[in-house]
Structure 1
Amino acid sequence: MIKILLCDDHAVVRMGLKMLLNNHSDIEVIGEASEGNEGIQKSLELKPNVVVMDLSMPHGKDGLSATTELKKLLPETAILILTMHDDEEYLFRAIQAGASGCILKSAPHDELLSAIRSVAAGNAYLHPSATKRLMEEYIGNARNGNVDTFNLLSDREKEVLTLIAKGFSNKEIAEQLVISVKTVETHKGNLMEKLQMKTRPELVEIALKKGLLGYGI
């Protein structure tokens, strides 16, 4: 059962959301709040799995401020921002505040349900148009050299990169890491894609720059 707290300054909106959500057997609305401070207090009291948080609440604490404070107090609680603003600025501010997701108030009911279930499961959720813009901006920044793609590598991919730079073959890397050669090849392909590199010399160079070999350039 996904326990939900609704935080919105419009009673009619809360009532409509409550009726919609309580019609599903895996979701239960356990509380409501009309502004951020009340949302924080109710969350501390009721311990919801997900807080559906209105972004703009003119009276009391706004959604972004409440999200920032709530994530410090209850880091395990997922916060899904509900907003009428289809705007990059609001999206980035919501993510920076600690929200697990962001969905438009105009979104279909099925999308809202999917978003709630997604963030409750520990995943992130962004409405489709936001995801597209976020990816476009990220790709643009990466191409312009404004993003360090090395930070995208997993710990295992960094291990594989280190061994590649040291001159080990795929078979030797597999033996050292106790994984299959196929898995090594998969990690190698993934890290090369993330780093946007195609040759071993390029991989050796970045391994040196990042100090993976014990010394840098």
Structure 2
Amino acid sequence: MLTELHKFLYEIKNISHKPFQKEKVYDYMWAFKEEFLEKNKNIDSYYTKKIIQIIIIMGDEILIQNMNNPEEWINNTGELYLFGTNMGETIFQKYVDEIIDNNIFNVMFIEIATIGIEIGLHTSRKKELMEIYKENILYDINLVPYETFRIINNKSYWSFKKICGSILIVFFLLNEGMYYFSIKQHMKNTSIIVSKIRKIYGTL
């Protein structure tokens, strides 16, 4: 089964960044989906649905977003493609033995998710892709989901930083305010005590 998946992924990888072969990628994905479902009917439905969902989204985006503008596809792909490749290598070097021991289907799923990063992450459905990743094994075993989100959605990253910064500032001000008012209250209490002492014992 893994051999079939590797063949599929490498074929997709080889033709996905060639602008005039996007339809071939789309057709290949659909053919693989049908064959995959037919041969592996007993796979847990959770993994099957997620795998097919990613394949369909990748195919849709390749066909809709990039067929009519091959130059833009080439220009937008470079950095994210490289990131996806490096991420894939990191995943397998670090986790492949452990994942195979626990659940062989996780390896298949991670490979497809990695190819998803390479092919589809810069498209208009990047948020939808991230929602899928948040629910799948990439998120569960903490394989750089935050770094992925930062790279593909920089505005959200900076919004996140601003929110965190604002929270920190609020906590700082609250802390300083509490400290200030505690000193003020302490001085007020001290002043009351001193005035009472003066009343009892006269001027100090």
> TM-score surpassing 0.5?
no
Structure with higher helix content: 2
TM-score, with length taken from structure 1: 0.29
Give the greater-gyration-radius structure (CA): 2
TM-score by length of 2: 0.30
Greater share of strand residues, 1 or 2? Answer: 1
